[in-house]
Structure 1
Amino acid sequence: MPESAVQKTEHEIITSAPPDAVYAALADAPAWPTVFPPTVHVDQVERTAAAERIRIWATANGALRGWTSRREFDEAGKRIRFRQEVSAHPVAAMGGEWTLEAAGPGRTRVRLTHDFRAVEDTAATLDWIHRAVDRNSTAELAALRSAVERPDGSGPTGFEDTVHVKGNAGDVYDFLYRSHLWAERLDHVARITVEENEPGLQHMEMDTRTADGSVHTTASVRICLPEDRIVYKQLRTPPLLSLHLGRWTIRENGEGVDVTSSHTVSIVRSAIPGVLGDQATEQDARDFVRGALGRNSLLTLNAAKEYAEARSDGRS
């Protein structure tokens, strides 16, 4: 079968941030989920001063995909080249380059180019890839500008809760992984639907009961990495948040395991008065979010603890 034709795209923005600041944001791949909306998780496989290999999971046209890329750094020339080593269907091969150029005092022109081949040169396949590249590139450039300029909202903040479980890591992971059963197992979950078209890649929609009895709906994508991590990103955030990342981590500790629920969030400052009142501060908003997310996390952690310890004791 002949190789498909190479397709090329180019997108650019100008940002009121200096090239060094923009380059630093682009070079820090593990932090991309806090910067780029399509990026859900990045594992840094290898890293040297000149290059790295990373495993990336991101959404494309609503679908969650994972691939491995190699990146080459030219800090002096303010360029970062990337090439996918293992692409996700229907992409056969993809690469490109970030190029930064000074655009006046404290300003940077950011150019993002892609070249790719499709598994099949059909109109539908090429259209799907072009739409995915265009949508993600546009979103990434806008998010990059927002991150380096910070026109509204603060930088991300994080917090976590941990419980010790006198049970097996596999049982804890099973409870967290089988989230389609949470409506039966967790009182604060009113409804949940989970789609898993590829093993370990889940789309979740959940109705959660809050402390005041109201119900709100969230939609997330989850990456399940047996048997010690599940990471997720909220696709639709409430007005108070521009970002919500989460992670469940399971670590051996003595005769059991420590299970941690971690959250990374960004507060939208302009939304604080409408949600919490005119006198509320950013710290009030952080405390509010910490309380709401922490409450539900601890409910889930304690339910996972009860489940795993019951199985360890032979009670279920």
Structure 2
Amino acid sequence: MQHTSYSVDVAAPAGVVYALIADTTQWPLFVPPSVHVERLDFDGTLDRFGMWATANGTVTSWVSRRSLDPRLRTIDFHQEVPAPPATSMGGRWTVEELGPARSRLNLLHRFEVRDDDPADAEWLTRATDTNSRAELDELKRTAELWTKLDGLLMTFEDSVRVHGPSELVYDFLYRAGDWPAHLPEITRADVAEDRQGVQLLDTDTLGADGVTETSTAVRVCFPHAGRIVFKQTRTPRLLAAHTGEWAVNPDETGVTAVATHQVLLREEDIEPVLGPGADLTQARDHVRRTLGGASTRVLHLARRHAETAVRTLIPQR
């Protein structure tokens, strides 16, 4: 059995820090290795979820169960279905109160690999160390923004109505590598799918100011549910974190295609990106307009893709 432990002091109240680690659905925004969390069960104390995360440059997934104790500010966790090469993985989060606005966040891991294989143990120790340090560093940074965090967080969605097959709408959203042929602002889109349903998407996007921004995203695809969730692991300036989802929702009369975004703004980039004197309100408007506009254009193209196919198949009189 291997053990690791990490701690970081945070200039934020213990309750704020605990709230960040307690809500796993927000981890993709606040915890760099976390790509997507699919909550399976939650009753306020017991939390069971599927997790997709990066580890040593790859995307892996597992199912975890956690037990939360808000009074003691502890969270015990255990992977029900460990991600290889682990055969067991568990641990504990604790938050200690050091003062009215000071706390200490601790993370303990214990894990095993099959037959104590040295290569597997080294790989898992390295992944655990890299991810744990990144998690604590970003949780510290986010928690210390606690007085202004609400203003830096954004959630919004756009949708279009489609009179065509949901499968074709999903097909267009899934084949992101084809988007440059339809969207002139996307000058490059490279997709790698080494593991079925998990895509790595690299894009170059030409902005209105003539500057090309390169971004990288992990996309987890759920074709039977008509969903593609994503997290940008390399974000444009102004965005500290960006996650979202493409959803295709059929009903009796057609399909609603939806793009949802969750964003954490990087306050120190506001003036360098938007110009001297720009403020948070302008930054929020800019992000809503640019991200919403881009995803709406993709949705309209997905609609055209589906509806054009329908018109082609229907005999013209």
Taking structure 1 as the reference length, the TM-score comes to 0.92
Determine what percentage of the aligned residue pairs are the same residue: 40
User: What is the correspondence of 1:92-131 to structure 2 with a 5 Å cutoff?
Assistant: 92-119=87-114, 121-131=116-126
What amino acid sits opposite 1:163 in the alignment?
V
Indicate the residue corresponding to 1:184 in structure 2: 181
Indicate the residue corresponding to 1:54 in structure 2: 49
Deviation at 1:213, TM superposition (A): 4.6
Indicate whether 1:11 and 2:9 are aligned: no
Classify the secondary structure of the residue corresponding to 2:242: strand
Indicate whether 1:81 and 2:76 are aligned: yes
Indicate the residue corresponding to 2:159 in structure 1: 162
Deviation at 1:254, TM superposition (A): 4.0
In the aligned structure 1, how far is the partner of 2:283 from the partner of 2:72?
41
In the aligned structure 2, how far is the partner of 1:274 from the partner of 1:20?
33
Mean Cα deviation higher: 151-160 or 246-255: 151-160
Distance 1:184 1:120, change over 3 A: farther
Classify the secondary structure of the residue corresponding to 1:17: coil
Indicate the residue corresponding to 1:290 in structure 2: 288
Indicate the residue corresponding to 1:305 in structure 2: 303
In the aligned structure 1, how far is the partner of 2:45 from the partner of 2:297?
45
Deviation at 1:258, TM superposition (A): 0.8
Deviation at 1:200, TM superposition (A): 0.8
Indicate the residue corresponding to 2:133 in structure 1: 138
CA displacement 1:160-197 (0-9 Å, x = unmatched): 21110101211111111122222334333211111111
Taking structure 2 as the reference length, the TM-score comes to 0.92
Classify the secondary structure of the residue corresponding to 1:235: strand
Classify the secondary structure of the residue corresponding to 1:23: helix
Indicate the residue corresponding to 2:170 in structure 1: 173
Gaps of 5+ in 2: none
Deviation at 1:103, TM superposition (A): 1.9
Contact 1:210 1:292 in 2 (8 A): no
CA displacement 1:91-113 (0-9 Å, x = unmatched): 22211100122223332221100
Distance 1:49 1:218, change over 3 A: closer
Contact 2:199 2:220 in 1 (8 A): yes
In the aligned structure 2, how far is the partner of 1:38 from the partner of 1:81?
19
Classify the secondary structure of the residue corresponding to 1:20: helix
Indicate the residue corresponding to 1:38 in structure 2: 33
In the aligned structure 1, how far is the partner of 2:214 from the partner of 2:11?
36
Contact 2:185 2:206 in 1 (8 A): yes
Distance 1:239 1:180, change over 3 A: closer
What amino acid sits opposite 2:259 in the alignment?
S
Indicate the residue corresponding to 2:22 in structure 1: 27
What amino acid sits opposite 2:238 in the alignment?
L
CA displacement 1:211-239 (0-9 Å, x = unmatched): 34543211111111123211111111222
In the aligned structure 1, how far is the partner of 2:312 from the partner of 2:140?
54
What amino acid sits opposite 2:289 in the alignment?
G
CA displacement 1:264-316 (0-9 Å, x = unmatched): 21222221121111121111112222222122212211110011112233459
Indicate the residue corresponding to 1:236 in structure 2: 234
CA displacement 1:22-50 (0-9 Å, x = unmatched): 22221111111121111111111011233
Distance 1:274 1:211, change over 3 A: closer
Gaps of 5+ in 1: 1-5
Contact 1:89 1:119 in 2 (8 A): no
Structure 1 residue runs of 4 or more that deviate by more than 6 Å after TM superposition: none
Contact 1:188 1:296 in 2 (8 A): no
Indicate the residue corresponding to 1:197 in structure 2: 194
Distance 1:277 1:136, change over 3 A: same
In the aligned structure 1, how far is the partner of 2:47 from the partner of 2:41?
5
Counting matched residue pairs gives: 311
User: What is the correspondence of 1:245-264 to structure 2 with a 5 Å cutoff?
Assistant: 245-264=243-262
In the aligned structure 2, how far is the partner of 1:201 from the partner of 1:311?
27
Indicate the residue corresponding to 1:3 in structure 2: none
Contact 1:87 1:94 in 2 (8 A): yes
Distance 1:49 1:267, change over 3 A: closer
Classify the secondary structure of the residue corresponding to 1:103: strand
CA RMSD of aligned residues (A): 1.9
What amino acid sits opposite 2:208 in the alignment?
A
